[in-house]
Amino acid sequence: SVYLSDDTLVLCSGSKYSKDNTNNLFAHITNTAYQDADPGFKEEECIFVWNGESIAPMLLKSKACRNSQEACERIDDVKRQMRDITGELFRAYESEFGVFAPLESCFEHYGLDFIVDVDWRVYLLEVNPGPDFKQTGDRLSRVIERLMLDTIDAVLIPQFFGKALQTNQSIDEDEKRAALQGKLKLVYERHRRKQQNSTSPSTSSVKQGINMKV
């Protein structure tokens, strides 16, 4: 199974963006490691989580949205597009074992970089097999802590305590899954193919988009 974390980071530049000025790379490259060298970079003003609490006020202030309802709808739609893209991506690589070959009782974290254009269309920039968890900065380090806890709940607990969960009839199946996933949203589930009376190993990967420029 492939999950996308709902705690998607927004990495902004410390310098004002201008499409006409390509000489100032600080205005175009939003990686935290690069932005740290910009005198105008302030972590609390440039790194956010893509949610209504953090982003909606910015959209209203910049007049990108007319009201709070529109802002929340835009935020949710961007999340939906990211989930759709991630699911489509791993569906395309379902049979490419040289690229995506998860192992039984294991999990992987990937970093997906997205960009959103002025018409609110989301595009995938790249996929990192070894995401840089320091991109959150100190202020939002809790995002990574929550990702790790959700990973354990969604992947390891069902793997090793699955029978105990299945026999607990007092909890609805949907409630069980929601409780275990936390901030993770299921975007793709790999179909297991039977091979000579055996099935392929159960696998789980956790996805987290860690860089989105707006």
Name the residue ranges covered by the structural domains of the chain. 2-6+49-213
Tokens of 63: 């007049």
pTM: 0.74
> Residue 185: its pLDDT value, please?
86
Q: Give the up-direction half-sphere exposure of residue 45: CA atoms within 13 A in the CB hemisphere.
A: 10
| pLDDT value at residue 134 | 76
Instruction: Report pLDDT for 163.
Output: 52
In one letter, which amino acid is 126? E
Q: What does the alpha-carbon distance between residue 129 and residue 127 come to, in Å, rounded to a whole number?
A: 7
Q: Find the largest Cα–Cα distance for the chain.
A: 62
* Rounded (5°) CA angle 180-185-186: 90
Give the per-residue pLDDT at 193.
44
Range list of β-strands (E), 39-193: 47-49, 109-116, 122-128, 184-188
- Cβ-Cβ contacts under 8 Å for 101 (sequence gap 6 or more): none
Q: Which residues of the chain have pLDDT under 50?
A: 166, 171, 176, 179, 192-207, 209-214
Which pLDDT score is estimated for 210? 39
Q: Could you give the 3-state DSSP secondary structure of residue 174?
A: helix
Segment 16-20 long-range contacts (CB within 8 Å, at least 24 positions apart):
none
